[in-house]
Amino acid sequence: MTFQELVNTLKAEGYDYCVTNQLEDWVQRSYAQLSARYQWPWLEETKETTAPFEIKDLRYVLSVTDTTQERPLWGATRQWILERYPKLEENGNAVWWFLDNLTLRLFPLSEDKVAVRYVKKAPKLEAATEPLIPTEWQYLIIDQARVFALKNNDEFQVANELKASVQADLNEMIADQLRRDWQSNRSIVRTAPYGYGYL
């Protein structure tokens, strides 16, 4: 379903008395919230170029590889590197990568190409665009948006019951989309809103 179709579906479920902007906000928030909770495969991207460079849609980095020398780089904080190399101006073969807000930098400085595998933020929905969530699970966007609508009406008990149902269906979505490697044990990482955790 497109963004507009999602909004129309929510409206048809008994919320036609709400202003359109409010319905759109609930759908946008629902989509953003569901997208941010796990390391969904449809939000993984790879960018290859020379550092430093900005990743405007970055949520978090999965790996960084020096593709010129075909070797992985290690992640570190800017503070950790500064404590050892205060000027950050040494040239050579890069060993570490770090983030300066949304800009990825290397140390030592290098002109080698790097490939960054990362999880991006879900792009904001526009009227004719579809969410990246697979079609068969897009109803969860509507259900989560209904939770927001119920809370807005002070129907907290019903909202909590629906929220529990959304979580149960979300667990089914996790099993369908994230548990495909049965050859080895795998932990599912939750990324937000409470930080990292394992299921």
Stated pTM of the model: 0.81
Buried b (16+ CB within 10 A) or exposed e, 1-29: eebeebbebbeeeebeebeeeebbebbbe
Element holding 9 (H helix, E strand): helix 3-10
pLDDT at 191: 60
Q: Which SS3 state, helix, strand or coil, does residue 144 take?
A: helix
Answer yes or no: are the C-beta atoms of 39 and 191 closer than 8 Å: yes
Amino acid at 26: W
Mean per-residue pLDDT of the chain = 90
pLDDT at 111: 94
pLDDT at 185: 60
More confident residue, 153 or 193: 153
User: Residue 189: pLDDT above 60?
Assistant: no
User: Residue 195: pLDDT above 80?
Assistant: no
Q: Which SS3 state, helix, strand or coil, does residue 72 take?
A: strand
pLDDT tens for 76-97 read: 999 999 999 988 889 999 999 9
**At 100, phi and psi to the nearest 5?**
-115, 90
